[in-house]
A and B are shown apart, each in its own frame.
Chain A
Amino acid sequence: MASTALFRRVLALPPHLRRSVYSSTATHTGASQPDIYDVVCIGGGPVGLSFVSALRSHPSTSALRVALIDSQDLSTARTTKDTETYSNRCSSITPASLRFLKQIGAWEHAKRGRTQPYHAMDVWDGVSGSKIHFDSVDQQQTGLLDAVAEMIPGSRFQASRRKYQVEDVGVATMCENANTTSALLQRLHDLDEERLNERRVFDMLEKTRVESIDLGPESKDEKSLDLSQWPIVTTSHGKIAARLLVGADGANSPVRQFADIPSPGWDYNQHGVVATLHVDRHHTVQDLRTAYQRFLPTGPVALLPLPGNKASLVWSTTPQHAAKLKTLSPPDFTAAVNAAFRLMPVDISYMLSPTSTTTPTDELAWRETATPAASTGLPRNFPRIASVQEGSIASFPLRMRHADTYTGHRIALIGDAAHTIHPLAGQGLNLGLADAESLAKRIAYGVDHGMDVGSCWTLDGYNSDRWAKNNAVIGVVDKLSKVYGVGSGPVVWGRSAGVEVLERLGTLKGWMMGAAAGVK
C-alpha cells in the first residue's frame, strides 16, 4: 500500500524530477555523471559559430543537442559603432563562403555598411614588375547572343539567356571578423527565440575554460551507460560528454592534441603585419573597388579595400622588418607602406634595416623621384596611403600546418585546428567555412539515415570531401610563397614569363579566379 502511494506521488512529480527518481542518467545530477550532448563544438570563432548555426538552421539537425564552448565572453565580440574605425582583423570572404553564410541566415545580420565587396584584383611582381589583373566584370557574359537578348526585354529568349548569366558577386567581400562573429551570434540568438516553446537543445557555454579532454570511465556494469569510447570535456562548470566532439579551437587545438592527430608543417620565417589605413580618396558604395597585392622577395604586401577611404593592410615580411615597422611613428609607417608598393625591393629593405640613418619619410621622398612607376609595375589607379589608424598595427607569425586527418572516433576538426595557411591568398577563413559547411551537411546526412553522428559512417565523408581540396590549396599557396621569395635569377624570369602568359589567356585566368572563389 505504501509503495503504491509512493508510486502515485512519484508519478505526480514533474517529468524531469520523475525521471531523476527512476533513471540512472539524470539531467541534474552531480559532477560524477557528465552531461551528454550530441555535438559539442569547442571554439566560438567564425568557423565554430557558422558550424553550429548550420546545424541549428538545418531541419534535420535542429533537434540535436548542441553545445558551444568558448573561453571568451562572446557577447562582447561586436563591432564598434564608430564608422571611422575598423578592426585590423578583417577577412576576405569568397562568393562560396558568402553563399554559405546567406544559406544559414547569418549574412543578413551582418552590418552591410561595414563590408566591402571588391570586383578587381591587381597582383604584380616586385622584382620584375610583371602584373596580372583579375576583373570579375570581365567574367560576365557579354557575348553577341546576350546583347541580342537584352534588346528584347521580357522575351523567352532573354529568360533562356538568363540561366547562363553568372551572378556578379565580385572577387570577394572584405568583412571584419567581429562583424561576421556578431552576425552569427545574432542568428543563433534568433533561432533560440524562434524555438522558445520547444525543448531547449542548444547551450552556449561562453566564458568556460576547457580544463581537459579525456575518454570516459569504464562502465561499472553491463546495464549502466558505457562512455569509455566517448570524449568527456572537463570544463570549469562541469563535465560534458560528446557524441561528436568538434574542434574549432584554433591552431593549437586541444581537441587535435587529445585525438593524437599529428599536424605536420613548417614555420615561414615571416610575420604578418596588419593595420587599418586611410587612403587619399573617398569611395562611395557604388564605386568598384580593387584589391592590390605586390610580391616582394621578403614576402607579399596586400592592400584590401574597406568602405569609404579605409583599407586593410596585410604585409608578410621578415621578423626583423616587422619589429622595425612596429616601432615606427605613424607618418613613418605610412611612408614605409607607400614605399612597399612603389619602391624597389633594395630600397624597402634599406628603409627597414636596423642600421638605416634616415627616416622612411625622407627616403620615400627621394627614392620616389628616382623610381618610375612603369618600371616597378605599379597599377595606374593605385591610391596613396594618407595615414594609419591609431593602435591598429599588429603582427603575428606565419606558419603552415595541415592535420594528417580531420576525423577520429567521435572527433572532427574544422578551421584553423585542421589547417593553417599563408595569408597571401586570403583563403584561411574561407577553407574553414567550407569545412564547417561540409561537416554540417555530413551530419545532416547521418541524422537522416539514422547513423550515429560520431561514427566513421558520418565522418569519413567529411574527411574525403575536404582533406584533398584543402591540401591542394595549401600546397599551391605554399609554392607561390616560395617561388616569389626568390629575389633574382632564372626563377624571376620564369615566373614573370608565366604571369605575362596567364594575363593574356582569358580562359585560364577565369578558371583560376573560379577556383580561388571556391565556386563549385
Chain B
Amino acid sequence: MRKRTRPAVMNGQISQRTFQRLLALPPPLRLRTFSILNRPPPNYAGHVPLTLVERGALALGSAFGSLRNPHRHDLIASLGEATAKPYFISRLRKAMLANPTGRRILRDKPRITSQTMSLEWLRQLPDNTVGRAYAAWLDREGVTPDTRDQVRYIDDPEEAYVMQRYRETHDFTHAITGLPVIIEGELAVKAFEFANTLLPMTALSLVAVVRLKAAERKRFFETYLPWAVSNGLKAEEVVNVYWEEELETDVEVLRARLGIEVPPDLREIRKVLRDKNKADMAARDAKNRLGAGMGV
C-alpha cells in the first residue's frame, strides 16, 4: 500500500476542493469525507477521528453487542460517543456553558477517579452527606469509582470532556437516587438521564427492557419509567452539578435544590418479593410432602 506523504491537513483541503464540497451541506450536517488511509491528526490524546460510515457501523455494532451482553460497558460507551453528534452533545455543552457552575466545571475540567475520590475519607463523612451516600452506595453495590472508559470518538476536545464528565458522574446519579446496578436499576437511571440530558444512547439503552422478566418489566413501566421521566424533565441539569464541591452537602438539600424525588427502593422491593416467593415455595413444598405422607 503506497503511503501518502502529504500532511493530513492539506489532504483535507484537497478533498474539500473536490466535487463533493459543492454538494456539502451546512456544517451541522456536513459529511466528514476524508479517506480512511489518511486520517486527520487527533485533537486530543486518544482521539480517533471516524468517517460517517465508520461511526454508523460503530453505533450499530455497539447497540446490538450491548443488547446481547449488557455487561459490556465499553460497547455502551462507544454507542454513546457514536450517537452523540451532531446535535446532542453540542446541546449539552451549551447547557453547561449557559450555567455558571457548568462553566466552572468546563474551566477546571475535574476528573473522578479512584485517586481523586478517596473512599476512606468519604466513608467517615456524616451520614446524611452526598459523599457518605456515594460511599455507602458503592459499598452496597460492591463497585469502585474505577476509571471509566476514555472518550475516543468525539472530535471536539471540550465536547469529549463533557461526555467524559457525564460518564464519570453517572455513579453519583445512582447514589442520590438510590437505584442499584442491576439491569432494572440501570434502565431507570438511563431513562432519567435521557429526560435530563437528551443523549441518544440513554434512550437507545432502554431497548434492553426486552431482557427483563415479565414482573420486572411491569414494575418498570408502572413505577420507575414514570418516575424517571417526570423527575428528569423537572430536575435541573445534573451535568451542571459540581460534585467535588457537593460532597459535604446534605443529600436532602441537594435533592431539593435539583428537584429530584427518591424512587421506591428497588433492592428492598425485590428482597421482599424474593422472601415472599421463598416462603410460598417452602409452604407449597411442605404441603406436598405432608400431602404425600398422608396419601392424599
- Which A positions have Cβ atoms within 8 angstroms of B? 128-130, 344, 346-347, 349-350, 355-357, 366, 370, 372, 375, 377, 493, 496-497, 499-500, 504
Contact = CB atoms under 8 A, between A and B. Distances in A.
Contacts of B26: 128-130, 493, 496-497, 499-500
Nearest to B22: A504
B136 interface: no
Given A366-B107, A504-B22, A350 B98 contact: yes
A355 B27 contact: no
Nearest to A358: B103
Contacts of B94: 344, 346
Contacts of A130: 26-27
B97 interface: yes
Given A128-B27, A130-B26, A500-B25, 17 more contacts: A129-B26, A129-B27, A130-B27, A346-B94, A346-B97, A350-B97, A355-B100, A356-B100, A370-B157, A375-B27, A493-B26, A493-B29, A496-B26, A496-B28, A497-B25, A499-B26, A500-B24
Interface of B: 22, 24-29, 94, 97-98, 100, 103, 106-107, 156-158
Contacts of B25: 497, 500
B183 to A, nearest CB: 35
B69 to A, nearest CB: 37
Contacts of B158: 370
A350 B27 contact: no
Contact of A344 (B28, B97, B107, B157): B97
Nearest to A494: B26
8 shortest interchain CB distances as A-B pairs: A496-B26, A346-B94, A130-B26, A370-B158, A346-B97, A129-B27, A128-B26, A346-B98
A496 B86 CA distance: 15
A372 to B, nearest CB: 8
B28 A493 contact: yes
Contacts of A356: 100
Contacts of B103: 350
Contacts of A493: 26, 28-29
Contacts of A129: 26-27
B5 to A, nearest CB: 24
9 contacts: A128-B27, A128-B28, A356-B100, A370-B157, A375-B27, A493-B28, A493-B29, A496-B27, A497-B25
A182 B106 CA distance: 53
Nearest to A343: B97
Nearest to A366: B107
A375 B94 CA distance: 14
A347 B107 CA distance: 13
A130 B30 CA distance: 11
Interface centre among B27, B29, B156 (most CB of A within 10 A): B27
B74 to A, nearest CB: 27
A89 B157 CA distance: 42
Contacts of A499: 26
A377 B30 CA distance: 14
Contact of B100 (A347, A357, A366, A377): A357
Contacts of A377: 27
Contact of B97 (A347, A497, A500, A504): A347
Contacts of B100: 355-357
Nearest to B157: A370
A504 B19 CA distance: 12
Contacts of A355: 100
B245 to A, nearest CB: 15
A278 to B, nearest CB: 30
Nearest to A376: B27
A496 B26 CA distance: 6
A129 B86 CA distance: 14
B17 to A, nearest CB: 13
Greatest chain A CB density within 10 A among B26, B27, B107 is at B26
Contacts of A357: 100
A254 B27 CA distance: 50
Contacts of B29: 493
A367 to B, nearest CB: 8
B25 to A, nearest CB: 7
A370 B103 CA distance: 12
B56 to A, nearest CB: 21
A348 to B, nearest CB: 11
A13 B98 CA distance: 85
Nearest to A347: B97
Nearest to B106: A370
Contacts of A500: 24-26
Contacts of B106: 370
Nearest to A130: B26
A371 to B, nearest CB: 9
Contacts of B28: 128, 493, 496
A130 B156 CA distance: 19
A377 B22 CA distance: 17
A128 B29 CA distance: 10
Nearest to A125: B26
A209 to B, nearest CB: 51
Nearest to B98: A346
A500 B29 CA distance: 12
A146 to B, nearest CB: 26
Contacts of A350: 97-98, 103
A497 B30 CA distance: 11
A273 B8 CA distance: 43
